[in-house]
């Protein structure tokens, strides 16, 4: 039984299609764009829009996990009341939409 397979002549290998390698590479790039890059860009755009729309009285969360209420909005920073008589000034980029935007714990 084994001698029959060993006695067969080797089959010639087919030449690989020269277009398949670049097409596969292009497909991988397209998949990365639609599943990773595009959603991240959309999320950043929503966050920027949220930060620009902040107004007095809005409740916010900072990247450091501080909860507060906006008392004043300027171009690059906001003033936040975090307790009775306690006010802090933070950069607008430190405001997140919800806790899913914060860095995950390790």
The per-residue pLDDT for range 7-64, each reduced to its tens digit, is 666 677 676 777 778 888 999 999 999 999 999 999 999 999 999 999 999 999 999 9
CA-based angle 75:41:96, to the nearest 5? 50
On the question of pLDDT at 106 being above 60, the answer is no
Q: Which fold has domain 20-99?
A: SH3 type barrels. (2.30.30)
Show me where the domains of the chain are located. Answer: 20-99
SS (H, E, C) 36-102: HHHHHHHHHHHHHHHHHCCCCCCEEEECCCCEEEEEEECCCEEEEEEECCEEEEEEHHHEECCHHHC
User: What pLDDT score was predicted for residue 92?
Assistant: 94
């Amino acid at each position: 039984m084994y001698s029959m397979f060993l006695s067969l002549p080797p089959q010639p290998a087919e030449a690989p299609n020269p277009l398949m390698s670049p097409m596969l590479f292009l497909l991988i790039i397209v998949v990365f764009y639609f599943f990773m890059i595009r959603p991240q860009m959309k999320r950043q755009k929503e966050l920027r829009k949220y930060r620009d729309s902040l107004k007095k009285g809005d409740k916010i969360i900072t990247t450091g996990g501080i909860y507060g209420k906006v008392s004043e909005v300027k171009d690059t920073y906001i003033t936040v009341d975090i307790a009775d008589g306690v006010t802090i000034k933070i950069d607008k980029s430190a405001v997140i939409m919800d806790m899913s935007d914060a860095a995950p714990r390790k």
